[in-house]
């Protein structure tokens, strides 16, 4: 047998050994690099894959009215979910589970549709499970949301026969008073993409947690929301959770709120307003008036007792998710604009209610004295200063009483709401009033009574209103100020605009002796056991009887419980007017009060607004307007413009406890339409007060 040559060249052996040595060194070095030098880094990556942080939602705070009645509470909503990895291997068993879920929930088994957010209709169970399987098979995926509690109980009882199916209970908001308080309370919605980073930085989960979108829910979001907790969970490579690890941080529940609102009075105000609006619309044979407002406030404290903005919306329909069709329906209502709180965001000419600004200013500046009588012939004519001899350019200013009121003194000028009287003391009149209060005076006294800027109410969306000036007209219209502009402004017409809250505040300021109170809706912040964490004390923003607080920064020192955001809003808004240095003599306020008292006893509100057993005072207003709707209907006829209805009253006259403002869009004469509304709300207030007193005795 021949033997082969087995001699291997030495250079090959050396090369082989060298390669083996190199590989050994390389792998040992790489192993050293991975486990020793970069070990901590890769350990961290592995832990990130193995451990996840799970957010534990915090219960949102409850909202009560002033009597402890729950306006907002948290109730369970039941969602049906499937974990794809836990479904049976048998297709027959899986199909049986799908059929049972479809039978109970109404979700189709097979319905193709575009991907959408959880709980949005359009896809079947099969498509939802397939999507979950492809993305994360060990996560539970929503199949049906907000199912009936009976169905949830059935599914939980049958869960042993439905592997992979779970029923979760999540808290949602239940607005017990619905549309009665929705303009105040608001609603919750998903975190928008533009704010995702901000809220995730605060510990929120963008696809799960909701935030306030309007009203109290929005304004007090940080207080109501609380702080989410968290826990560390270990999972395997497929995403299945194995166990909890580390320390669990428990969620911190949100604080609760007690409002100043009395739900009983709120209901009475809504009933009075709607009944009157429906009467007007029936009488007109069309929807003549689409908007109405009622506000009730304690003039001594600024506490809002009731606030109705009509039309409104049902916030319970937005509590679980925001239905696109319903939301678009609300947005499409261009006349009523139900998503807007008209009490603080509606801007309309205040009409004769604004005469109180002219009255206070003219009497305080010595333009008129209380006893001096001014003649009202029913009409006066104002010459055009640039064309004094051209009677065609002169303008007539008329009183609502065609024959005039004759000789009128100060208190009766208020009582009868005599236009000519206020034209003369506001704009002057040759031969009688050499120089009236003028537009400069209006721009001094109107802001002092609460007009022209937000008052800082704890709600989003408060508007400024408008107190016009010659500068404003030049900038915005490119025209010079005219005498006619002054005559219109002193009676709350022309360019003057105000919100119902501002109009009410002006009367409340005169009712309490000159204090502009901070209007607010939240009385107390409570912890989970009902203990008071913070109470918002009554805050005098400024006092016209003691002089405007100067500078505006002094408001913060005088109102220590005033929220910082509110303080900044007030100070920023008021900077446009500077710091008006106004001191109104107490006797001036007393005369104005006497005039408003006569309004109810013998003046414009005597028939419709006077209370039988309790003394009151008030001011009617009929504000002419010509907006797009009026123009489309051909109603903007010179001298015959349509009118908004206003009435504001307070009671008792001697020691006011409540001031009520009513506004009805296109409602006609103030006393006729709004007078009965205010009277009914005042009567309801004192009836409820008597009931409460009887209960405590």
pLDDT tier at 431, thresholds 50, 70, 90: confident
Give ∠ CA 169-175-178 in degrees, rounded to 5: 140
Q: Is there a contact between 685 and 652 (Cβ–Cβ < 8 Å)?
A: no
DSSP codes, 7-66: PPPHHHHHHHHHHHHHHHHHHHHHHHIIIIISHHHHHHHHHHHHEEEEEEPPPPPPEE-T
**What pLDDT was estimated at residue 283?**
87
CA pair distance 571, 423, nearest whole angstrom = 33
Whether omega before 227 lies within 30 degrees of 0, making that bond cis, reads no
pLDDT at 433 over 50: yes
H helices of 285-418, in order, are 324-332, 342-345, 355-364, 410-415
Instruction: Work out the number of other CB atoms within 10 angstroms of the CB of residue 400.
Output: 17
Cα–Cα distance list, 466 to 357, 378, 496 (Å):
14, 29, 5
pLDDT tier at 195, thresholds 50, 70, 90: very high
**What pLDDT was estimated at residue 9?**
77
CA–chain centroid gap for 458, Å, is 8
**What pLDDT was estimated at residue 370?**
96
3-state helix, strand, coil in the chain (%, to 5): 40, 20, 40
Query: If you average pLDDT over every residue of the chain, what do you get?
Result: 87
Token digits of residue 169 = 């209970």
Residue among 324, 310, 33, 63 at smallest CA distance from 179: 310
pLDDT per position as a tens digit, 97-149: 999 999 998 889 888 877 766 777 778 888 888 888 888 788 888 888 888 99
Determine the average pLDDT of the residues in 218-226. 94
Residue among 103, 121, 100 at smallest CA distance from 112: 121
pLDDT at 389 over 50: no
pLDDT per position as a tens digit, 261-290: 999 999 999 999 999 999 999 988 888 899
Q: Is there a contact between 228 and 57 (Cβ–Cβ < 8 Å)?
A: yes
Q: Which residues of 103-140 are buried (b: 16+ CB within 10 A; e: fewer)?
A: ebbebbeeeeeeeeeeeeeebbbbbbbeebeeeebbeb
**What pLDDT was estimated at residue 2?**
47
Residue among 135, 143, 101 at smallest CA distance from 118: 143
Token digits of residue 136 = 């994360």
pLDDT tier at 391, thresholds 50, 70, 90: very low
CA pair distance 689, 670, nearest whole angstrom = 27
Q: Are strands 540-543 and 658-664 parallel, antiparallel or unpaired?
A: unpaired
Can you name the residues that pair with 433 across neighbouring β-strands? Answer: 429
**What pLDDT was estimated at residue 387?**
47
pLDDT at 224 over 80: yes
CA pair distance 364, 381, nearest whole angstrom = 27
- Region of poorest pLDDT, from 140-154, 395-409, 484-498: 395-409
**Domain formed by 263-696, architecture:** 3-Layer(aba) Sandwich (3.40)
pLDDT at 457 over 90: yes
- Region of poorest pLDDT, from 471-480, 500-509, 619-628, 682-691: 619-628
Q: Which helix (H) or strand (E) holds 396?
A: strand 395-398
pLDDT tier at 390, thresholds 50, 70, 90: very low
Cα–Cα distance list, 35 to 134, 418, 672 (Å):
33, 94, 88
pLDDT tier at 27, thresholds 50, 70, 90: confident
> Is the four-CA dihedral 463, 464, 466, 471 of positive or negative sign?
negative
CA pair distance 310, 346, nearest whole angstrom = 11
* C-alpha dihedral, 438 to 452 to 588 to 399, nearest 10°: 60
Residues with Cβ within 8 Å of residue 687, at least 6 apart in sequence:
none
H helices of 106-230, in order, are 125-135, 149-157, 182-185, 196-201, 215-219, 221-225
pTM of the model: 0.87
End-to-end Cα distance, the chain: 130
Q: Between the ranges 181-195, 242-256, 294-308, 602-616, where is the mean pLDDT highest?
A: 294-308
Give ∠ CA 367-623-395 in degrees, rounded to 5: 60
Token digits of residue 71 = 């306006």
**What pLDDT was estimated at residue 320?**
78
**What pLDDT was estimated at residue 141?**
85
pLDDT at 678 over 80: yes
CA pair distance 117, 210, nearest whole angstrom = 14
CA pair distance 30, 669, nearest whole angstrom = 91
CA pair distance 605, 621, nearest whole angstrom = 10
Cα–Cα distance list, 183 to 310, 316, 318 (Å):
9, 12, 13
Residue among 654, 653, 650, 515 at smallest CA distance from 586: 515
With left for phi above 0 and alpha for psi between -120 and 50, is residue 193 left, alpha or beta?
alpha
pLDDT tier at 444, thresholds 50, 70, 90: very high
Domain boundaries, the chain: 76-175, 263-696
């Amino acid at each position: 047998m021949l033997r082969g040559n087995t001699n291997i060249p030495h250079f090959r052996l050396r090369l082989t050994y060298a390669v083996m040595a190199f590989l050994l060194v390389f792998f040992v070095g790489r192993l050293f690099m991975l486990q020793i030098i970069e070990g901590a880094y890769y350990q961290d990556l592995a832990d990130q894959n193995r451990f996840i942080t799970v957010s534990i939602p915090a219960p949102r705070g409850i909202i009560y009215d002033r009597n402890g009645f729950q306006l907002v509470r948290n109730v369970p909503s039941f969602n049906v979910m499937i974990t794809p990895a836990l479904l049976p291997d048998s297709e027959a068993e899986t199909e049986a589970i799908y059929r049972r879920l479809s039978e109970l929930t109404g979700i189709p088994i097979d319905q193709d549709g575009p991907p959408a957010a959880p709980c949005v209709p359009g896809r079947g169970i099969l498509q939802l499970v397939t999507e979950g399987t492809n993305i994360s098979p060990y996560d539970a995926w929503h199949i049906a949301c907000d199912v009936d509690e009976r169905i949830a109980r059935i599914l939980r009882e049958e869960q042993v026969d439905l592997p992979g199916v779970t029923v979760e209970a999540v808290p949602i908001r239940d607005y017990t008073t619905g549309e009665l308080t929705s303009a105040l309370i608001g609603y919750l919605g998903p975190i928008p993409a533009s704010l995702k980073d901000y809220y995730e930085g605060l510990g929120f989960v963008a696809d799960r947690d909701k935030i306030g979108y309007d009203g109290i829910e929005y304004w007090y979001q940080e207080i109501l929301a609380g702080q989410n907790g968290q826990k560390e969970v270990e999972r395997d490579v497929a995403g299945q959770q194995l166990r909890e690890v580390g320390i669990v941080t428990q969620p911190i529940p949100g604080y609760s709120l007690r409002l100043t609102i009395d739900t009983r009075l709120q209901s009475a105000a809504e009933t009075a307003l709607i009944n009157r609006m429906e009467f007007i619309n029936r009488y007109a044979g069309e929807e003549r008036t689409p908007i109405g407002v009622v506000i009730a406030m304690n003039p001594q404290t600024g506490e809002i007792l009731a606030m109705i903005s009509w039309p409104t919306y049902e916030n319970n329909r937005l509590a679980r998710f925001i239905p696109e069709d319903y939301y678009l329906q609300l947005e499409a209502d261009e006349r009523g604009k139900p998503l807007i709180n008209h009490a603080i965001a509606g801007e309309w000419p205040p009409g004769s209610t604004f005469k109180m600004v002219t009255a206070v200013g003219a009497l305080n500046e010595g333009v008129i004295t209380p006893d001096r009588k001014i003649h009202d012939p029913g009409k006066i004519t104002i010459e055009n200063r640039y064309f004094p001899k051209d009677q065609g350019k002169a303008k007539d200013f008329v009183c609502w009483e065609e024959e005039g009121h004759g000789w009128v003194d100060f208190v009766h000028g208020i009582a009868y709401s005599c236009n000519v009287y206020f034209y003369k003391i506001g704009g002057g009149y040759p031969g009688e009033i050499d120089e009236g209060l003028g537009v400069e005076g209006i721009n001094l006294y109107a802001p002092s009574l609460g007009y022209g800027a937000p008052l800082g109410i704890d709600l989003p969306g408060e508007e400024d209103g408008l107190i016009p000036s010659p500068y404003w007209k030049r900038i915005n219209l490119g025209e010079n100020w005219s005498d006619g502009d002054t005559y219109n402004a002193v009676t709350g017409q022309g360019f003057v605009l105000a919100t119902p809250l501002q109009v009410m505040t002006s009367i409340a300021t005169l009712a309490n002796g000159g204090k502009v109170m901070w209007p607010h809706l939240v009385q107390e912040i409570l912890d989970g056991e009902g203990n008071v964490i913070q109470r918002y004390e009554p805050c005098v923003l400024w006092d016209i009887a003691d002089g405007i607080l100067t500078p505006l920064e002094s408001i913060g020192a005088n109102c220590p419980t005033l929220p910082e955001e509110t303080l900044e809003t007030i100070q920023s808004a008021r900077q446009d007017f500077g710091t008006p240095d106004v001191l109104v003599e107490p006797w001036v306020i007393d005369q104005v009060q006497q005039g408003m008292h006569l309004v109810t006893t013998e003046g414009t509100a005597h028939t419709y607004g006077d209370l039988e057993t309790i003394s009151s005072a008030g001011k009617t207003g009929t504000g002419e307007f010509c907006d797009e709707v009026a123009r489309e209907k051909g109603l903007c006829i010179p001298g015959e413009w349509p009118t908004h209805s206003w009435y504001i009253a307070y009671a008792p006259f001697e020691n006011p406890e409540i001031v009520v403002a009513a506004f009805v869009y296109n409602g006609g004469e103030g006393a006729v339409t709004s007078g009965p509304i205010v009277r009914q709300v005042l009567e309801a207030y004192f009836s409820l007060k008597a009931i409460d007193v009887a209960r405590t005795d």
